[in-house]
Amino acid sequence: MTLKITQAAQSEVPKYIKDLLKFKATMLIDLKNTIEKCRFNDLPSPYVCFNAMLDALRPLTVIDVAGDHTENQNHL
pTM for the model:
0.21
Q: Note whether residue 32 is domain-resident.
A: yes
d(CA 58, CA 17) in angstroms, rounded, equals: 17
- Within 10 angstroms of residue 24's Cβ, the number of other Cβ atoms is 10
What three-state secondary structure class fits 11? coil
Residue 54 lies in a domain: yes
Cα 18 to Cα 3: distance, rounded to the nearest angstrom:
10
Residue 4 lies inside a defined structural domain of this protein:
no
**Which domain, by its residues, includes 44?**
14-58
How many domains would you assign to the chain?
Answer: 1
Query: Which residues in the chain come in under a pLDDT of 70?
Result: 1-76
pLDDT tens profile 59-68: 666 666 666 5
